[in-house]
Structure 1
């Protein structure tokens, strides 16, 4: 059996969000597939145009999924078809959620769905590096402490394994009225980057 000690160190770094991502969907029901698909395509173009008018770049709107499926009546016979097109919209205007949502609703009305909203950090690499350094320092401190308790000395490192995670720090959302439209105002939350390192040290 190999001699040594294995410890886990964890490092966390928190940073404010700098990008907002929305997942919007456009859906439409029709008696035949061709009509459902054509109507969704037309309405998707309308949503894209409305978002671009609000300052969203074309490169920041991309398809995340497309679906077409039958809908059944009580008799289990096909009663029609539903087509849907989901898209992810990214913006650095963290307070612009309500304006973008209203623009999309204005373009297609009840055919619009909001499937998700996420604040994020665009460049995580520096945060991951900081978290990794903190995790390794914690692992080293644990190993030194345990070695002292056992009357041993830490030697070389035998192996390192890393796991990575990210979680938002939630903050309360609020709502406000603007002109004739009800804008939903959301508050960006801080994002926490966490790295855990499992480090195996040999005894000296």
Structure 2
């Protein structure tokens, strides 16, 4: 229990010893926790950052890795273009041809998820006439609405590259106005990129080991890494196949897929001693 004294009209409260001990224990515990947290933070910084001191003696090397793969996927675009006096007529004609093309593609084994609309436009069509100009005046040209045009483009993914030529020829017979942009790629190239990176790192490490030996130093740790990965352009056929009203291309073209090259270029910096 607190003891209280009155001295010259002022009260003095004296805390009991057991309360003082408890308050001191709490304060000491909080101080210990604070110091422990600070120590752990310093330890982590030392472990992962290297005591916060940047390496001063370093060497940098580069490495390159390459892997090759036969493309397993083809992609191309097929377009329909229709003109008519009204929007509804132009849309009906374009829709009939697009539906026929989609039905053909599905019947040939192309899955619905691999057929995607990438463009759909409806535009007015005008005819322009220019009046005869005189010496002092040239009247403005006249425009006359003569109809409407509809454009629709599908992007098609072909998972059996051997069928690419057959499909390009087949859509022409179903009313396609244009077929373009054929390219061959690898559908999932993550494993290829990983393999290329592994080769690039091994190449860089081999150079670092050789350089360290020549310099008479030892490699301590990696203090810097960067990568620039990519691949050479996939085989691409940019020529547009314009279809005629008689039924398009009759003979499927030969479309060799070739090989794609995936590359990885890395730069690694080592601390030395």
TM over 0.5: yes
Aligned to 1:58: 112
RMSD, aligned CA = 2.9
1:157 positional shift: 0.9
Bigger-Rg structure (1/2): 2
Residue 182 of structure 2 is aligned with which of 102, 117, 137? 117
Aligned to 1:176: none
1:76 positional shift: 8.6
Residue 84 of structure 1 is aligned with which of 151, 154, 158? 151
1:146 positional shift: 3.0
Equivalent runs, 1:80-159 vs 2, <5 Å: 81-108=148-175, 111-159=176-224
Moved more, 24-33 or 135-144: 24-33
TM-score w.r.t. the length of structure 1 is: 0.79
1:32 positional shift: 5.0
Looking at structure 2, the residues matched to 89 and 160 of structure 1 have their Cα atoms a distance apart, in angstroms, of 39
1:192 positional shift: 1.3
Q: 1:170 to 1:22 in 2, by over 3 A?
A: closer
Q: Which has the higher strand share?
A: 1
Aligned to 1:21: 75
Looking at structure 2, the residues matched to 103 and 117 of structure 1 have their Cα atoms a distance apart, in angstroms, of 15
Looking at structure 1, the residues matched to 149 and 217 of structure 2 have their Cα atoms a distance apart, in angstroms, of 68
- How many aligned positions are there? 195
Aligned to 2:256: 187
Equivalent runs, 1:68-83 vs 2, <5 Å: 68-69=122-123, 73=127, 77=143, 81-83=148-150
Aligned to 1:9: 63
Task: For CA contacts below 8 A with separation 6 or more, give which structure has more relative contact order.
Answer: 1
Aligned to 2:30: none
Looking at structure 2, the residues matched to 60 and 101 of structure 1 have their Cα atoms a distance apart, in angstroms, of 15
1:53 positional shift: 1.9
Give unmatched runs, 5+ long, in structure 2.
1-53, 129-140, 237-248
TM-score w.r.t. the length of structure 2 is: 0.61
1:203 aligns with 2:272: yes
- Contact 1:168–1:189 (8 Å) recurs in 2: no
Give unmatched runs, 5+ long, in structure 1.
172-179
